[in-house]
Chains A and B, each alone.
Chain A
Amino acid sequence: MSRTRALALAGVLVTWAVVAHANKALELINPVLLPTPGQVAAVLADTVRDGSLVRHVATSLGRVAVGFGVAAASALALGILAAMCAPLRLVMEPIIEFVRPIPPLAFLPLFLVWFGLGEASKVAFIGYTTFFPMFVAIASAVLRVDVTLLRAAASLGARRLDLIGRVIVPAALPGIVVALRLGFALALFVIVGAEFMGADAGLGHLIMEGRTFFLPAQIVMGALVLGLLGSLVNALLLAAERRVFRGREAAATS
């Protein structure tokens, strides 16, 4: 991390500490409402020690992995299919344009009604939320594949399946990877909302528990852990992306 970034983050931490401690000393608002960094760290240490944090993180990530995994696989298959098959695209387009502006959270209660309070509703909700943006991004990445690449491959004897595996997927890979990365970020985003309702574990549940038992420090701790997870996963995916595309820099443009 560069020094400026470290300084900026340290600045935020110091400001928070100063404000929280000043409030505690002056009692401007109830100090319980504004936890100090130390109090948040103490809650973090407690939950790490008794193993509950690991359980919550594992639960949330497990749901994200399954929901995102299923959505990514179907978005990939249907995105390629839709890009290659104009009639299917014509059918899908109005449906997607209709569904897209509806905030996914509006459907969360429906998922709870359909799939109950257990894992299925969370996983299905993540799948539903992440599918459409990934599908749209993957289909458009495939549509951008240069048609002369397909012609070149066909003239070398490629049939339809060869074209998908050996030309379309590698040619659209940069766009596909970006779509998957965005989908994953979105999954982390909405899992919290899904876990607010009818969950007995997960980071969303941990945060909601903080509200129920009036523990603002726990709420802040949960949010910070989510932020850390998000940046960690993003960094990992970016590193993977760079590894995959090493040697084919500017491949998409040449």
Chain B
Amino acid sequence: MTAMAIQVRGLSRSFVAGGRTTPALLDIDLDIADREFVCLLGPSGCGKSTLLNVVAGFLRPSAGEVLVNGRPVTGPGADRGVVFQEYVLFPWLTVAGNVEFGLRLQGAPSDDRRRTVARYLELVGLTAHAAKFPVQLSGGMKQRVAIARALANNPAIILMDEPFGALDAQTREVLQDELGRIQRVEHKTVLFVTHSIREAVYLADRVVVMTSAPGRIKQVVAIKLPDIRDRFAPEFTQYESEITRMVKEEVAKVHE
């Protein structure tokens, strides 16, 4: 049996607002293997980002627990890198300064830092922009910086919360290609939240389809496609339509 990087056990999470308790996640069980790429997919408001935030340690579970490498999550940590939809770069630091942030916290010597920063800026194609400030970058470039920042810290796990959701369709596919290429080099355990079925089928080893609120796991689909995927291959489209059907059922429930 492969080692489990992330184990979600009987996880529920609800939010209290105005004296009313609204369940967001209900009884989630999910195991994610080391080096596995898992996409969380579901209609908006299904709690997929909540699940990611609990794994990241930003939110505490209402019930159940999350284990990372066998140890319960009690808060955020450098073992789980996070890439946010809104990039969340440090605006007072340059591109290089952002990528270097985690390394500085570790107290890495400056030579090592420079080498690592150079390596990851090259990986995301931003070497020429190292001295720029985030405000000078496009959305796609900002998200590349955020990915480089997470990777440079060398966590075993990367959590991505709709990272390409704010980008235009073209940039989105370019970044999906790049992320696929990066994953073939870096072999991280990735938990990736998206509402794009195409994106999920393109990137994931397994797609976890969630129900509409309160979020439960509806079905887990293993994507048995080659590492380098063709968005127009018949097998690809087959997965796409199969998962589309599942998601549509859930969206329909919301409108009933």
Partners in one complex: yes
Of the candidates B77, B91, B104, B135, the one having the most CB atoms from chain A within 10 angstroms of its own CB is: B91
Residues of B within 8 A of A251 (CB): 91-92, 133, 135
A155:B91 contact, CB within 8 angstroms: no
Please give, as numbers and ranges, the residues of chain A lying within 8 Å of B76 by CB-CB distance: 151, 154-155
Q: From the candidates B56, B86, B104, B134, name the one contacting A155 in the complex (CB within 8 A).
A: B56
- A residues 229-254 near B (Cβ < 8 Å) are 247-252, 254
Given known contacts A156-B153, A157-B105, A148 and B135 CB-to-CB distance under 8 angstroms: no
Residues on B with beta carbons closer than 8 Å to the beta carbon of A252: 91
Complex: chain A residue closest to B142, CB-CB = A254
Task: Chain A residues near B135: list those with CB within 8 A.
Answer: 248-251, 254
Contacts of A153 in B (CB 8 A): 90, 101
Q: How far is the CA of A153 from the CA of B88 in the complex (A)?
A: 10
- Beta-carbon contact of A151 and B92 below 8 Å: no
**Contact, CB under 8 Å: B58 / A151:** yes
**Closest beta carbon of chain B to A245's beta carbon, Å:** 9
Shortest Cβ distance from B153 into chain A, in angstroms? 5
Does A155 lie within 8 Å of B133, measured CB to CB? Answer: no
A167 within 8 A of B: yes
Partner of A171, one of B92, B104, B133, B134: B92
Contacting pair B91 A157 (CB below 8 A): no
For B78, what are the chain A residues with a Cβ–Cβ distance below 8 Å?
Answer: 155-157
Asked if A176 lies at the interface with its beta carbon under 8 angstroms from chain B, I say no
Instruction: Quote the shortest CB–CB distance from B131 to chain A (angstroms).
Output: 9
A251 to chain B, nearest CB (A): 4
In the complex, per-residue mask of A138-172: 1 if CB is within 8 Å of any chain B CB, else 0 = 00000000101101111111100010001100110
Instruction: Say whether, besides A247-B133, A251-B133, A154 and B91 are in contact (CB < 8 Å).
Output: no
Contact B86 A154 (CB under 8 A): no
B75 close to A (CB within 8 Å): yes
Across the A-B interface, how many residue pairs have beta carbons closer than 8 Å? 74
| Most B-side CB within 10 Å, residue of A156, A249, A254 | A156
Chain B contact residue count (CB 8 A cutoff): 28
Asked if A173 CB lies within 8 Å of chain B CBs, one says: yes
Pairwise interchain contact B153-A151, C-beta atoms closer than 8 A: no
With the chains together, A171 CA to B92 CA distance in Å? 7
Contacts A151-B56, A155-B78, A157-B106 known; A173 to B92 CB distance under 8 Å? yes
Chain A residues within an 8 Å CB radius of B75 = 154
CA–CA, A166 and B78, complex, Å: 16
Bound-complex Cα distance A153 to B153 (A): 11
**CB proximity of A172 to chain B, nearest CB, Å:** 10
With A157-B153, A251-B133: A151-B91 Cβ-Cβ less than 8 Å: no
B215 at the interface (CB under 8 A from A): no
Measured CB to CB, the residues of B under 8 A from A are: 56-58, 75-78, 80-82, 84, 86, 88, 90-92, 101-102, 104-106, 133-135, 149-150, 153, 159
A binding-site residues for B, Cβ under 8 Å: 146, 148-149, 151-158, 162, 166-167, 170-171, 173, 247-252, 254
7 CB < 8 A contacts A-B: A151-B84, A152-B90, A155-B82, A173-B92, A248-B133, A248-B135, A250-B91
Nearest first, the 9 A-B pairs at minimum CB distance are: A157-B78, A156-B102, A154-B76, A251-B91, A155-B82, A152-B88, A170-B92, A157-B105, A148-B88
18 new A-B pairs (CB below 8 Å) besides A149-B88, A152-B90? A148-B88, A151-B76, A151-B82, A154-B75, A156-B78, A156-B101, A156-B102, A156-B105, A156-B149, A157-B106, A167-B90, A170-B90, A170-B92, A173-B92, A247-B133, A248-B133, A251-B91, A254-B91
